[in-house]
Amino acid sequence: MAEKTINPVLKQVLELGPTLAFFLIYLRIKDDNFTIAGTEYTGFIIAALIFVPILLLAMGILWALIGKLSRMQVFTAFMVIFFGGLTAYFNDERFFKMKTTIVYGSMGVLLGVGLLRGQSYLQYVMEEFLPMRQEGWMIFTRRLCYMFFALALANEVIWRTQSTDLWVKLETFAFPVVLFVFLWVQIIGLQKYLIEDPQDPKA
């Protein structure tokens, strides 16, 4: 089945909106404590729990509109649900903060396994949108693998040594921006490996 197309702005809202909603909810209730079934929870934990259904709703709408979800979206949703559940069960915000480390670390391991086998799993996911020679894919994959490990390490250092306020801000804005800029720079830098469409009149 061909993927349906939707307004790109709406797609971005559905993909990025839940994280922004978590940030705004956290800002609103971060200094409050809530007692549920005799257990007291911080505002951060409540914001993390509210984030789960918001994310699932956004993903459900996205799936209904385009008919598919990426593997990364499904994996991220699973991690959010799993670690959100641990956060609530143990009443410990550290589980939710570790989620980011495990997501980035898992992606780094996955790409690394492919590299050890002489393959680019990134090519498997992105080749349709970015036609590129094998050499370029291996370079891109290796660099992105390192970046995922660097982000995982940075998250570990930040949540263990800095305030929750700073972690939330970096998780919401800094990490995604750093990853986006990194990907953009790599795509620009690997232009010489791109495969031009032979049907393109400019080729």
The torsion angles phi and psi of 194, rounded to 5 degrees, stand at -65, 145
State pLDDT tens for residues 180-200: 999 999 989 999 988 875 555
Q: State how far the alpha carbon of 128 is from the alpha carbons of 27, 131, 138, 156, 166, in Å.
A: 40, 6, 16, 34, 37
Q: For position 3, what pLDDT does the model report? A: 56
Q: Which amino acid is at 36?
A: I
State pLDDT tens for residues 88-104: 999 999 999 999 999 99
Q: Are 132 and 195 in contact (CB under 8 A)?
A: yes
Phi-psi region of 67 (alpha: psi -120 to 50; beta: other; left: phi over 0): left
Q: For position 96, what pLDDT does the model report? A: 94
Q: What's the pTM?
A: 0.85
**Local confidence band at 1 (pLDDT 50, 70, 90 cut-offs):** very low
Angle at 103 between CA 112 and CA 128, to 5 degrees: 60
